[in-house]
């Protein structure tokens, strides 16, 4: 992703073994970054000969990615791919008016408004643009898109808009530690560099929650996937896939898979869908013949050799245990906030780690003792002046694309007020 408004349309080709965890990670990244690519499975020496003119599959370091100019990378990391695509760049300035962490809907929206309103802004994203929304196959409840829009497309549009207004986007960089001094925020990035800004917006969202089953790590990306697995659906033809979770993201994932898989089973801990799922999704799910919903169900075991082959499901109500064959389990059970970076700062978090902002910081009408201003914290401002939070990471936020976008835009207004106040 260069800082241009458009991207190359020529196709990337990705070659790999079926069920390769590394190839899954690359497909997921390319899909979320709206890079068009062909996925070519190599199983035999003949495949290798036909596709690449090479005789022995075992001599190839897979996965292998070929770019439109025919250059190739063997067994590459995501960073190497992003670097090759020209997306890993160096910061242009030593100090910014505003640094935004996280390029999900909240961060992207903040970036669009901040850059369009003339703030020297940097947007820092540790992985792919789009955040959780980028993994959604179809967002149907975001205003202005009556036919729905894929999360990756929505994110790509926002990225282009932000770039058009002059945002500086630094990909594959992660904020790991923050320090607030001299009215500046100093952030250590995971690559060892430092970022300095006069104000910041934390839009780091949430991280997928795990199942908590012992064999989970063994099958990660080898049959067990976190999130909606939008890139995997076309590979599920004739399969029986399982989706864990009863929220909107799980419902959307089930509907998406139902277009490809033979059968989709949703495993839900609760006793009904109404408590967690929007009405339009309930209607669609109950009217899709190849989706089955299992209530009171919990995954309690995973089995397989190199890849997942079966799962154990326990009915929490009557205690019955069932073992079923499947090669794919998608886990969509919400998440925990990405706020570890704040733990050694004066930023106040709630018990679950969400950042507390605005009037939620007041106790008996008083700001916390650490608060250094005579005014109360602005709406969306954390307990450190000039440090704001927007989107899912914020205590009490509505977990929706529209609200994250709204908060991102709103936070920028308060950044202006804060910067004016600081002269």
* Residues in contact with ligand FAD by the rule CB under 6 A: 101-107, 124-127, 131-133, 135-136, 139, 141, 174-175, 203-206, 227-228, 248-249, 252, 332, 338, 341, 391-393, 399-402, 404
What number of CA atoms fall less than 13 Å from residue 249's CA on the CB side?
A: 24
In 3-state terms, what secondary structure has residue 45? helix
| Contact status, residue 358 vs residue 377, Cβ threshold 8 Å | yes
> For ligand FAD, which is the closer residue by CB, 42 or 236?
236
Cβ neighbours of 190 (radius 10 Å): 12
Phi-psi region of 193 (alpha: psi -120 to 50; beta: other; left: phi over 0): beta
Residue-level length of the chain: 423
Phi-psi region of 364 (alpha: psi -120 to 50; beta: other; left: phi over 0): left
- Whole-number minimum distance, CB 252 to ligand FAD, in Å? 5
| Contact status, residue 171 vs residue 32, Cβ threshold 8 Å | no
User: Angle at CA 407, nearest 5°, toward 402 and 409?
Assistant: 100
| Contact status, residue 224 vs residue 302, Cβ threshold 8 Å | yes
> For ligand FAD, which is the closer residue by CB, 64 or 126?
126
> For ligand FAD, which is the closer residue by CB, 205 or 223?
205
- Whole-number minimum distance, CB 317 to ligand FAD, in Å? 27
- Whole-number minimum distance, CB 259 to ligand FAD, in Å? 16
Q: Which residues of 38-73 are buried (b: 16+ CB within 10 A; e: fewer)?
A: ebbebeeeeebeeebeeeebeebebbbbbbeeeeeb
In 3-state terms, what secondary structure has residue 91? coil
- Whole-number minimum distance, CB 301 to ligand FAD, in Å? 25
> For ligand FAD, which is the closer residue by CB, 42 or 328?
328
> For ligand FAD, which is the closer residue by CB, 16 or 221?
221
- Whole-number minimum distance, CB 330 to ligand FAD, in Å? 9
> For ligand FAD, which is the closer residue by CB, 52 or 196?
196
- Whole-number minimum distance, CB 303 to ligand FAD, in Å? 26
- Whole-number minimum distance, CB 212 to ligand FAD, in Å? 19
> For ligand FAD, which is the closer residue by CB, 42 or 133?
133
């Amino acid at each position: 992703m260069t800082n241009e408004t458009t991207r190359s349309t020529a196709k990337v080709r990705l070659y790999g073994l079926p069920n390769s965890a590394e190839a899954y990670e690359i497909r997921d990244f390319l899909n979320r970054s709206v890079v068009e690519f062909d996925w070519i499975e190599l199983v035999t020496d003949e495949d290798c000969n036909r596709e690449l003119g090479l005789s022995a599959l075992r001599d190839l370091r897979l996965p292998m990615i070929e770019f439109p100019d025919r250059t190739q990378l063997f067994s590459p990391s995501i960073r190497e791919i992003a670097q090759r695509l020209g997306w890993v760049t160096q910061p242009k300035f030593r100090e910014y008016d505003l640094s935004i962490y996280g390029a999900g809907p909240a961060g992207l929206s903040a970036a669009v408004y901040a850059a369009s309103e003339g703030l020297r802004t940097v947007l820092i994203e540790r992985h792919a643009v789009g955040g959780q929304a980028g993994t959604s196959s179809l967002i149907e409840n975001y205003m202005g898109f009556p036919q729905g829009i894929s999360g990756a497309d929505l994110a790509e549009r926002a990225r282009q808009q932000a770039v058009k207004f002059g945002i500086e986007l630094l990909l594959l960089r992660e904020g790991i530690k923050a320090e607030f001094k001299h009215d500046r925020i100093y952030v250590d990035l995971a690559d060892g560099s430092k970022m300095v800004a006069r104000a910041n917006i934390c839009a780091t969202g949430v991280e997928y929650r795990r199942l908590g089953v012992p064999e989970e790590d063994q099958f990660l990306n080898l049959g067990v996937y976190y999130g909606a697995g939008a890139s995997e659906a076309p590979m599920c033809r004739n399969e029986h896939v399982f989706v864990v979770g009863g929220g909107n993201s799980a419902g959307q994932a089930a509907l998406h898979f139902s277009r490809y898989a033979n059968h989709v089973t949703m495993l839900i801990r609760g006793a009904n869908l109404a408590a967690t799922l929007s009405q339009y999704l309930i209607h669609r799910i109950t009217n899709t013949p190849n989706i089955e919903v299992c209530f009171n169900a919990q995954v309690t075991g995973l089995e397989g050799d190199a890849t997942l082959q079966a799962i154990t499901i326990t009915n929490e109500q009557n205690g019955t245990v069932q073992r079923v064959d499947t090669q794919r389990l998608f886990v969509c059970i919400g998440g925990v906030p990405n706020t570890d970076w704040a733990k050694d700062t004066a930023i106040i978090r709630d018990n679950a780690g969400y950042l507390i902002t605005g009037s939620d910081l007041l106790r008996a009408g008083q700001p916390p003792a650490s608060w250094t201003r005579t005014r109360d914290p602005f709406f969306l401002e954390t307990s450190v002046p000039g440090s704001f939070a927007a989107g899912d990471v914020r205590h009490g936020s509505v977990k929706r694309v529209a609200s994250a976008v709204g908060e991102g835009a709103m936070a920028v207004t308060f950044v202006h007020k804060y910067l004016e106040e600081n002269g």
